[in-house]
Chains A and B, each alone.
Chain A
Amino acid sequence: MGAQKKKDAARVPEDLSRQRLQAIVIADSFTTRFRPLTLERPKVLLPLVNIPMIDYTLAWLESAGIDEIFVFCCAHSLQLIDHLKKSQWCSLVRTIVSHKSTSVGDALRYIYEQQHTETSQIQGDFVLVSGDTVSNMPLAELIREHRERKKRDEKAIMTMVIKKQSSRLRIGSDQLFVAVDPLTKQLLYYNEGGEVCLDKSLVMDTSVLVCNDVQDCYIDICSPEVLSLFEDNFDYQHLRRHFVKGLLVDDIMGYKIFTHEAHSSCYASRIDNLRSYDTVSKDIIQRWTYPYVPDISFSGNRPLKLGRRGMYRASDAVQSRSADIGASTVIGYGTRIGDGGKIFNSVIGNGCSVGSNVVIQGSYIWNNVTIEDGCEIRNAIVCDGVKIRAGAVLLPGVVLSFNVVVGRDFVVPAYSKVSLLQQEIKEDSDEELECADSSKGTADLLSDVNNLQMESKASELGPDGAGYIWEVCDSVHDEEWWKHSIVPIPMDKLADITQVMDDDDIEDESVVPPRGELKSDNDSISTDANDPNDDDYCYFQREVRETFLRAVEEDNNVDHVTPLINSLRFSYNMASADCAGAIFYSMMRLAIDTPHSSTSELYRNATSIINKSKGLLGFYVKQIDEQIEVIMKFEEMCEETAELVPLFAQIVHFLYDKDVVQEDAILRWGEEKAGADESDKVYLNQCEAFIQWLKEASEEEEDEEDEEDS
């Protein structure tokens, strides 16, 4: 152990002599996911197990050997600067303030501009993280790796940290697809959330590692070129969606991005929604983030005492003997808990007072909260200064913003967000925007609201409450609100998702389209209410029709059209029967659209077209099922186009003559239809004679055969 220490001591001066290590912390998420909380306090100062998030990030960066940390502040910069000044990192941290920035891109551009006006800014490679990162990963190794690679290859400007993750649902992030060269670790493809569209060359190349079980830690080691790239491409906003994609797709100056897979023993996660807030809090309580755990004073915080079963308690917390405090609970300084309380899996901040017979489960109670007798709180976030009057109930998923008062016996509906500030009526369509108001503005607003509350008697939270209930979900994440909520994902949803994922797996195994759009299961989740195949089929049919028309116009041979339609079939993942239907549909539409004066002329048109392209149709109607599909399709079309109705039997007969449809298919169709409603039988009746004739013919044949046999 002594030897180990010496080694540490030897390494530090070596690093110092080489280069100062710098980091940029973006202390603003530029999103609205934590609203309404972020209207009153910057996201990075929200307490995570009673310690502001940014303290985790800074403590980690400091112990990873970073010499200088630039904290980029945007919303509520004054609060943040104040916090940093008071913290133990004031010598390490330099703040950069810009109120105009609305994205990471803007922030980095601002830093780049500042670089020329001020001295001693970013000098070399730097670590780029956001202020909500919780990690205990050692960075020294990673930075060395990046530098060595940079020395070998000028174009390697960024190293991105990824981590194996068994389930993305844990932290509520979107599905991530990456393709990595396993030898060089170069990132070849990156896609988060959207439609996955792999380049053919990627899939063909067997030496490429494509995986979707990784998590992006949003920890990047960047070279100074990254800043200038942002400057050059002023439309880059999002680090991943624009910058990484831009570099990978547009191949700017041949710059490359590399990945580093974090060792499984270290923890790294970002808190970008309430779901991950919950998950990461639990990980901290379970000590995965050691040494950044509540019983160690890593940021000048007062350490809590760790008891049995993962209970962290402040030494001066007062607890009634009859209160039942379960495992994995954190109770802060100066907090009093009354008789008969039941508290499980929850974090309670400093200076709270909890009345008697209160049930708190899976919730995050911040500082100075008053909870009166008999309240029930499940899976909620309760911010500083909130008062919950006796008997009130918070249903799962509730978020109470600062200083809200919940009235007596009021039941706050599930998943609702409550704030003293009113929700903006017009949501800015730009979702990248976190509140850019200066904190002063909000404070004014807040006092106004307070006055208003005093005057107005009516409140949305009961007669003696104060606060507005916000619309449950914002428009962007409409159908996935439950995924980002503080509540653990409900079992039924979970079952749905796993079901969908399993289905996907099966599909992936059976048909892997070489090139095309693999549907990400996100979409199938969102649209599982209405059958997603319906839409797809319409698109497919339209595309087939267009292809067919083009082919007819150019008078192409059948052989040329078949591959085109095949490729469509694969990309839409359609069966052969669907193709047959679509082609037949295209043919008949062409016939209808061709100018004609009488039904006989229409019949002639149709027959000529069928004649011309029966080869193409024949390619797809090799099976009985497919032939039946064609007849059914024809039925459908007749429903739509009255002109065709009288021709039904004739055309079916014609198809039979041309060997497109075999007699078995027609007979089977007849049998199926025999049991249908009268209205459905119109076409069957038309074909009655024809079917009768077919039956007789086949019987005769059989007879003949029988005779021959005997």
Chain B
Amino acid sequence: MPDVQSMVAEFVNKLRKRKIEGSQATAKCTVELLRSVISHQRVPHANQAAALIDAVKAVGQQLVAANPVELAVGNVVRRVLHIIREEDLSLTTAAMAGLDLLDASDDDDIDNCKGIGYPAMSAAVVAAAARSTLRPPSLQTLLEGTPESATVPYTSSSGADSESKTADKSSLTRKLKHDVIEGVNQLIQEISGCHEQIAEQAIEHIHQNEVILTLGSSRTVLEFLCAAKEKKRSFRVFVAEGAPRYQGHLLAKELVARGLQTTVITDSAVFAMISRVNMVIIGAHAVMANGGVIGPVGVNMAALAAKKHAVPFVVLAGSHKLCPLYPHNPEVLLNELRSPSELLDFGEFSDCLDFGAGSGSLQVVNPTFDYVPPNLVSLFITDTGGHNPSYMYRLIADYYSADDLVM
């Protein structure tokens, strides 16, 4: 356990100091950390799922607090919680089916009414729980404020298990943990494989002799474009350089190395060039529940230009970037402001900063992200395929449990 704790502390530290960059890397680190948390978590006999959920939640809260701007962390934590709940549910349904059988056979052995009553009730509760998790949460359950609505009934059902079934139960415990870790492993694979999944669809979207515009640097975009190139599509790429960090330069370098026809333009030239562009493809930092996109600074401008000229604006996002939050949360909307030294030379401008009382002082704002409202986005391409912005909420409901939205 202590080694997990130190691992968590180390990762929290890295997030705090902004040493990990990029949502994919962060997501991967987070999910690997959570896997070890789960595997080291000692599970009690009763109520195992709740114990796991609590453990993951506790770590998740720390991680989210460490860098609230990096939404991928929260997404992955919620995904893991969702996996636990799902596995728990499927095991319960399986157990319920088993109990029904047992009920029939053990009916005459157990003579007190309690014995008869419990399994029957537990089965009903389990069924109700199963329904409640499959169904979107009703207003009532939300208002009741019982976050573990799915697990509470399970407690009673496991309590109802008689001593004679301890062997069965311990195997069940092991099975739950095993299944959860299996599920988390799948999630890891999904995250690391999301580039390929997205890139596979490239051929359907990029056509011969098209001109593609992109902004900043995104690994997903790079793979996407290269995949189209490998399929013998010939097209041109305009790369807006993405001031002030100029990551577009790096992307252009990579694209040229892979044999694509590439043109670098300044961010401010986007509007001038957009009429010659067939499609804008960008990578997102996060996709919000309403279909809005948080991307590198300058993206909103490109989206507006694309809208004006009716150019499709396509956003590539791995499923770990889908965030179940709505962008009215100021902490999310408000951006990471980075050092002004990316814009200005400190030595040269230090004079204007705060000299004298009377003179004006220079302020520099260097936001990292931009928000693109959903009406400007034409299409999302995730690892599960292309989606409309208005479909995002549905996708999110598939990936996350409603109980975990507020951590």
Q: Known contacts A1-B21, A286-B353, A305-B331; is A267 also within 8 Å of B346 by CB? A: yes
Q: How many Å from the CB of A378 to the closest CB on chain B? A: 9
Across the interface, which residues of A come within 8 angstroms of B22, CB to CB? Answer: 1-2, 4-5
Which residues of A (337-393) have their CB < 8 Å from a CB of B?
A: 362, 379
Across the interface, which residues of A come within 8 angstroms of B353, CB to CB? Answer: 170, 282-283, 286
Report yes or no: A264 in contact with B347, Cβ–Cβ below 8 A: yes
Report yes or no: B346 in contact with A488, Cβ–Cβ below 8 A: no
Report yes or no: A265 in contact with B25, Cβ–Cβ below 8 A: no
Which residue on chain B has the smallest CB distance to residue A214?
A: B347
From A59, A297, A328, A362, name the one whose CB has the most chain B CB atoms within 10 angstroms: A297
Q: Known contacts A264-B341, A305-B331; is A164 also within 8 Å of B17 by CB? A: no
Interface size class, chain B: 35 or more
Q: Known contacts A5-B25, A286-B364; is A264 also within 8 Å of B358 by CB? A: no
Across the interface, which residues of A come within 8 angstroms of B18, CB to CB? Answer: 291, 296
Report yes or no: A287 in contact with B366, Cβ–Cβ below 8 A: yes
Report yes or no: B334 in contact with A306, Cβ–Cβ below 8 A: yes
Q: Mark A1-38, 1 if CB is under 8 A from B, else 0.
A: 11011001000000000000000000000000000000
Across the interface, which residues of A come within 8 angstroms of B339, CB to CB? Answer: 136, 265, 267, 287-290
Across the interface, which residues of A come within 8 angstroms of B164, CB to CB? Answer: none
Query: Would you call A310 an interface residue if the criterion is a C-beta within 8 Å of the partner chain's C-beta atoms?
Result: yes
Report yes or no: A1 in contact with B24, Cβ–Cβ below 8 A: yes
- Bound complex: CA of A310 vs CA of B354, how far in Å? 14
Report yes or no: B341 in contact with A266, Cβ–Cβ below 8 A: yes
Q: How many Å from the CB of B252 to the closest CB on chain A? A: 16
Across the interface, which residues of A come within 8 angstroms of B20, CB to CB? Answer: 5
Query: Would you call A227 an interface residue if the criterion is a C-beta within 8 Å of the partner chain's C-beta atoms?
Result: no
Query: Would you call B356 an interface residue if the criterion is a C-beta within 8 Å of the partner chain's C-beta atoms?
Result: yes
Q: Mark B324-341, 1 if CB is under 8 A from A, else 0.
A: 000000010010011111
Which residue on chain B has the smallest CB distance to residue A59?
A: B17
Q: Mark A326-340, 1 if CB is under 8 A from B, else 0.
A: 011000000000000
- Bound complex: CA of A176 vs CA of B331, how far in Å? 44
Across the interface, which residues of A come within 8 angstroms of B13, CB to CB? Answer: 88
Query: Would you call B363 an interface residue if the criterion is a C-beta within 8 Å of the partner chain's C-beta atoms?
Result: yes
- Bound complex: CA of A403 vs CA of B17, how far in Å? 35
Query: Would you call B355 an interface residue if the criterion is a C-beta within 8 Å of the partner chain's C-beta atoms?
Result: yes
Query: Would you call B57 an interface residue if the criterion is a C-beta within 8 Å of the partner chain's C-beta atoms?
Result: no
Across the interface, which residues of B come within 8 angstroms of A287, CB to CB? Answer: 337-340, 364, 366
Q: How many Å from the CB of A110 to the closest CB on chain B? A: 32
Q: Mark A262-296, 1 if CB is under 8 A from B, else 0.
A: 00111100000000001100110011111100001
Q: Mark A52-74, 1 if CB is under 8 A from B, else 0.
A: 00000001000100000000000
- Bound complex: CA of A283 vs CA of B350, how far in Å? 9
Q: Known contacts A5-B25, A267-B341, A306-B337; is A164 also within 8 Å of B19 by CB? A: no
Report yes or no: A170 in contact with B347, Cβ–Cβ below 8 A: no
Report yes or no: A491 in contact with B357, Cβ–Cβ below 8 A: yes
From B25, B342, B346, B366, name the one whose CB has the most chain A CB atoms within 10 angstroms: B346
Report yes or no: A279 in contact with B354, Cβ–Cβ below 8 A: yes
Report yes or no: A264 in contact with B345, Cβ–Cβ below 8 A: yes
Partner of A4, one of B21, B337, B355: B21
Which residue on chain B has the smallest CB distance to residue A283?
A: B353
Query: Would you call B100 an interface residue if the criterion is a C-beta within 8 Å of the partner chain's C-beta atoms?
Result: no
- Bound complex: CA of A288 vs CA of B344, how far in Å? 10
Across the interface, which residues of B come within 8 angstroms of A291, CB to CB? Answer: 17-18
Query: Would you call A494 an interface residue if the criterion is a C-beta within 8 Å of the partner chain's C-beta atoms?
Result: yes
Report yes or no: A170 in contact with B351, Cβ–Cβ below 8 A: yes
Query: Would you call A243 an interface residue if the criterion is a C-beta within 8 Å of the partner chain's C-beta atoms?
Result: no
Report yes or no: A264 in contact with B350, Cβ–Cβ below 8 A: no
Which residue on chain B has the smallest CB distance to residue A362?
A: B357
Partner of B350, one of A88, A170, A278, A489: A170
Q: How many Å from the CB of A286 to the closest CB on chain B? A: 6
Query: Would you call B108 an interface residue if the criterion is a C-beta within 8 Å of the partner chain's C-beta atoms?
Result: no
Across the interface, which residues of B come within 8 angstroms of A488, CB to CB? Answer: 354-357
Report yes or no: A491 in contact with B356, Cβ–Cβ below 8 A: yes
Q: Known contacts A2-B24, A287-B340; is A327 also within 8 Å of B363 by CB? A: yes
Please count the residue pairs between chain A and chain B whose beta carbons lie under 8 angstroms apart in the complex: 112
Query: Would you call A163 an interface residue if the criterion is a C-beta within 8 Å of the partner chain's C-beta atoms?
Result: yes
Query: Would you call A201 an interface residue if the criterion is a C-beta within 8 Å of the partner chain's C-beta atoms?
Result: no
Partner of A166, one of B334, B350, B366: B350
Report yes or no: A297 in contact with B66, Cβ–Cβ below 8 A: yes
Query: Would you call B16 an interface residue if the criterion is a C-beta within 8 Å of the partner chain's C-beta atoms?
Result: yes
Which residue on chain B has the smallest CB distance to residue A297?
A: B16
Query: Would you call B175 an interface residue if the criterion is a C-beta within 8 Å of the partner chain's C-beta atoms?
Result: no
Query: Would you call A165 an interface residue if the criterion is a C-beta within 8 Å of the partner chain's C-beta atoms?
Result: yes
- Bound complex: CA of A159 vs CA of B347, how far in Å? 21
Which residue on chain B has the smallest CB distance to residue A165?
A: B347
- Bound complex: CA of A283 vs CA of B351, how far in Å? 12
Report yes or no: B25 in contact with A489, Cβ–Cβ below 8 A: no
Which residues of B (9-50) have their CB < 8 Å from a CB of A?
A: 13, 16-22, 24-25
Report yes or no: A265 in contact with B341, Cβ–Cβ below 8 A: yes
Query: Would you call A421 an interface residue if the criterion is a C-beta within 8 Å of the partner chain's C-beta atoms?
Result: no
Q: Known contacts A5-B22, A163-B347, A289-B339; is A296 also within 8 Å of B354 by CB? A: no
Which residues of B (143-186) have their CB < 8 Å from a CB of A?
A: none
Q: How many Å from the CB of A83 to the closest CB on chain B? A: 19
Q: Mark B58-80, 1 if CB is under 8 A from A, else 0.
A: 00000000100000000000000
Across the interface, which residues of B come within 8 angstroms of A63, CB to CB? Answer: 17, 19
Query: Would you call A600 an interface residue if the criterion is a C-beta within 8 Å of the partner chain's C-beta atoms?
Result: no
Query: Would you call B348 an interface residue if the criterion is a C-beta within 8 Å of the partner chain's C-beta atoms?
Result: yes
Across the interface, which residues of B come within 8 angstroms of A170, CB to CB? Answer: 350-351, 353-355
Query: Would you call A167 an interface residue if the criterion is a C-beta within 8 Å of the partner chain's C-beta atoms?
Result: yes
Across the interface, which residues of B come within 8 angstroms of A288, CB to CB? Answer: 339-341, 346
From B219, B331, B363, name the one whose CB has the most chain A CB atoms within 10 angstroms: B363
- Bound complex: CA of A169 vs CA of B351, how far in Å? 9
Report yes or no: A489 in contact with B356, Cβ–Cβ below 8 A: yes
Which residues of A (461-506) have their CB < 8 Å from a CB of B?
A: 487-491, 494
Report yes or no: A2 in contact with B219, Cβ–Cβ below 8 A: yes
- Bound complex: CA of A484 vs CA of B364, how far in Å? 26
Across the interface, which residues of A come within 8 angstroms of B345, CB to CB? Answer: 264-265
Which residue on chain A has the smallest CB distance to residue B341?
A: A265
- Bound complex: CA of A4 vs CA of B347, how far in Å? 28
Which residue on chain A has the smallest CB distance to residue B218?
A: A1
Across the interface, which residues of A come within 8 angstroms of B219, CB to CB? Answer: 1-2
Report yes or no: B16 in contact with A282, Cβ–Cβ below 8 A: no
Across the interface, which residues of A come within 8 angstroms of B347, CB to CB? Answer: 163-166, 264
- Bound complex: CA of A267 vs CA of B334, how far in Å? 25
Q: How many Å from the CB of B255 to the closest CB on chain A? A: 15
Query: Would you call A298 an interface residue if the criterion is a C-beta within 8 Å of the partner chain's C-beta atoms?
Result: yes
Across the interface, which residues of B come within 8 angstroms of A265, CB to CB? Answer: 339, 341-342, 345-346
Which residues of A (90-108) have their CB < 8 Å from a CB of B?
A: none
Q: How many Å from the CB of B240 to the closest CB on chain A? A: 18
- Bound complex: CA of A307 vs CA of B330, how far in Å? 9
Which residue on chain A has the smallest CB distance to residue B331?
A: A305
Report yes or no: A487 in contact with B338, Cβ–Cβ below 8 A: no
Which residue on chain A has the smallest CB distance to residue B29?
A: A5
Q: How many Å from the CB of B2 to the closest CB on chain A? A: 13
Q: Known contacts A296-B17, A297-B16; is A491 also within 8 Å of B25 by CB? A: no
A-B contact pairs, 24 of them (CB 8 A): A1-B219, A5-B21, A63-B19, A88-B13, A136-B339, A165-B350, A167-B351, A167-B355, A264-B345, A264-B346, A264-B348, A267-B341, A279-B354, A282-B353, A287-B366, A288-B341, A291-B17, A291-B18, A296-B16, A296-B18, A306-B337, A310-B363, A491-B356, A491-B357
By a beta-carbon cutoff of 8 Å, the part of chain B in contact with chain A is 13, 16-22, 24-25, 66, 219, 331, 334, 337-342, 345-351, 353-358, 363-364, 366
By Cβ-Cβ distance, the 9 closest A-B pairs, closest first, are A1-B22, A290-B339, A164-B347, A265-B341, A264-B345, A488-B357, A282-B354, A291-B18, A5-B25
Other contacts beyond A170-B351, A306-B337: 9, CB < 8 A: A4-B21, A59-B17, A167-B355, A282-B353, A286-B353, A288-B341, A307-B334, A328-B363, A491-B356
By a beta-carbon cutoff of 8 Å, the part of chain A in contact with chain B is 1-2, 4-5, 8, 59, 63, 88, 136, 163-167, 169-170, 264-267, 278-279, 282-283, 286-291, 296-298, 305-307, 309-310, 327-328, 362, 379, 487-491, 494
